[in-house]
Structure 1
Amino acid sequence: MNTYSLSYVITTFNKLEYLKITLADLINNCKPDEEIVVVDGGSEDGSKEFLELLFKENKIQQFISEPDFGEAHGFNKGFLMAKGDLIKVITDDDAFNFEGIQKCKIKMLANPEIDLMAGNMAYFDLKNRNKIHLKFDDNYFNDWLNNKIPSFWFNGQPLMIRRKQLPLIGFFNPDFIIVDTEFSLRTTFSRKAKLEWCSEIMSVNISNIDSNSVKFKEKVNCQLKELDIIYSERLSEIIKYKENHPVNLFLTSTKNLFKFIFDKVFPFKKLIGKKELKDNNNPLFIDNFLSFNEVFQILKQELIEINKKSNLL
């Protein structure tokens, strides 16, 4: 039986055109002591055949293709299939900082008391290509660590888990679309698992028409209310705390002031501009903008530059 230091677990369903881009990047960055585990939810767009070929070529180490009950169910299958000491969550339509992942891996392997790691990330909307929005949750982690707040939520993309601690940490809940929100609130509130924080930007969430948060927006909003009920006033308190946090109030007022000045004085420049379409039938082209692949490559470079400037880990 092969053993690995880390297992990349990725789930997918009918997103072949995205998968070809993101999985190629993952394969290119996978180390010899790491494995790639792909869980396909029974796709009918050619994803299964694509994955079978990659498996035969030994570019991915494990994969299954069968119907499931959504992202959480798929990830849970992958967690049980994984052979690595550590598990790294990967999504099929986002960009990842693999240099940062290696730093987290080294830190977790050197510190066996750490059960899981989370970290900062960025957002990018394919429809509104103005800029990358950075999301730093260090303050909330530190406040939670010092018992100033009962729990907090973080995005699942930066998540790294120690596999043998899954019985303590728990799996994802298949009842929720907002898998990471429910998981992070539950995990941080219980305080049984030791959580460590990575200060680098670990990934860029590329919001697109096929994102679960976009496709199931109404259900996501209902589930946020459901979580509020499950956690009583805790979720409301956290939201209120974040909005009124002194750092947030200062940053918001400063941001609004500079935005007003820049909008008046400087011409607005988009990070990614328009481009003539080569293939109008490609579903990954939106409003005559660049293709998902071109956006992905630009964001990967932006991710590198952002972390070079910060070098925080």
Structure 2
Amino acid sequence: MKVSILTVVYNGAATIRHCIESVLAQDFPDIEYIVVDGNSKDGTQEIVGSYGGKIAQFVSEPDAGIYDAMNKGIQLATGDVIGILNADDFYAYPSVISDVATVLSANDIDASYGDLEYIDANDATVVKRKWVSGAYKIGAFLNGWMPPHPTFFVKKSVYDTHGNFRLDLGSAADYELMLRFVHRGKIRLAYVPKTLVKMRAGGVSNSNLKNRIAANRNDRLAWKINNLEPRFYTLWLKPLRKIIQFI
């Protein structure tokens, strides 16, 4: 099994090295690492370039945003499985990809996911909250559930069948993709009960009330465009679930 890891970045010089090092430290033998940069101006290109052949493919050009860049990376990927690691994130330990590959191979499934820790933006040792996903149950999306996207590893054949990220849903594009794959498409899903990724706190969709309202609106649209009907409480439970992550 070959695993393609994709990192998209724009002006991420402050964190991209940590992200890259966490990928290169993985003990899995067959990783294709792809970095798609949005034509950064802060030294990101030089940092990525310094790793030479350790990065299989490096593209740097203007794009239409993070999900457009992710789509470019998916098209470039030649692996059997694709994982997406944001430039502000890093893998929690060196055998993350090995653990994921073992689960995907042993269970003949289409995708896997795990847990995620939000860490302080300035101190990676300080955990702000923990997203414990739990095992997936059919219909879980109706109860506001979703897996953390940076821990979501998907076979490339699923993208080929069900499509890539939509560019008209703002920060809800990853939610819509997982809703489409898992809830609508009913792909076979497995849970890796470990913290796979550490993410620096400060996501755009949750940074203020205005952004949260916009995210909720796009979440609703995600159901509509897939011809799905949420329950009356579905999209209110989704943000409320995050409160539990602080406990």
TM interval, shorter chain, is 0.7 to 0.9
2:26/2:96 contact within 8 Å kept: no
Provide closer, same or farther for how the CA distance between residues 174 and 30 of structure 1 changes in structure 2, counting only shifts above 3 A: farther
User: What is the percentage of aligned positions where both structures have the same residue?
Assistant: 21
TM-score (norm 2): 0.81
TM-score (norm 1): 0.65
Check if 1:96 corresponds to 2:91: yes
Provide closer, same or farther for how the CA distance between residues 93 and 229 of structure 1 changes in structure 2, counting only shifts above 3 A: closer
Number of residues paired by the alignment? 238
Distance (Å, rounded) in 2 between the aligned partners of 1:167 and 1:238: 29
Distance (Å, rounded) in 1 between the aligned partners of 2:240 and 2:47: 48
Letter in 2 for 1:198: V
Aligned twin of 1:222: 214
- Shift, 1:80, TM fit: 1.0
1:96/1:202 contact within 8 Å kept: yes
Aligned twin of 2:130: 134
2:28/2:98 contact within 8 Å kept: no
The counterpart of 2:80, out of the listed 77, 85, 109, is 85
Aligned twin of 1:155: 148
RMSD of aligned Cα (Å): 3.3
Aligned twin of 1:123: 118
Check if 1:174 corresponds to 2:167: yes
More displaced stretch, 10-19 vs 212-221: 212-221
> What pairs up with 1:35-50 in 2 under 5 angstroms?
35-50=32-47
Provide closer, same or farther for how the CA distance between residues 242 and 39 of structure 1 changes in structure 2, counting only shifts above 3 A: closer
Aligned twin of 1:7: 4
Aligned twin of 1:205: 199
- Shift, 1:31, TM fit: 3.8
What secondary structure, in the 3-state scheme, does the structure 1 residue paired with 2:54 have?
Answer: coil
- Shift, 1:69, TM fit: 1.1
| Higher share of residues assigned helix | 1
Distance (Å, rounded) in 2 between the aligned partners of 1:158 and 1:70: 21
Provide closer, same or farther for how the CA distance between residues 229 and 65 of structure 1 changes in structure 2, counting only shifts above 3 A: closer
What secondary structure, in the 3-state scheme, does the structure 2 residue paired with 1:49 have?
Answer: helix
- Shift, 1:215, TM fit: 7.0
> 1 or 2 for the larger relative contact order (CA 8 Å, sep ≥6)?
2
Provide closer, same or farther for how the CA distance between residues 230 and 62 of structure 1 changes in structure 2, counting only shifts above 3 A: closer
1:41/1:66 contact within 8 Å kept: yes
Provide closer, same or farther for how the CA distance between residues 43 and 216 of structure 1 changes in structure 2, counting only shifts above 3 A: farther
Unaligned residue ranges in structure 1 (runs of 5+): 256-313
Letter in 1 for 2:153: M
- Shift, 1:94, TM fit: 1.6
- Shift, 1:216, TM fit: 8.3
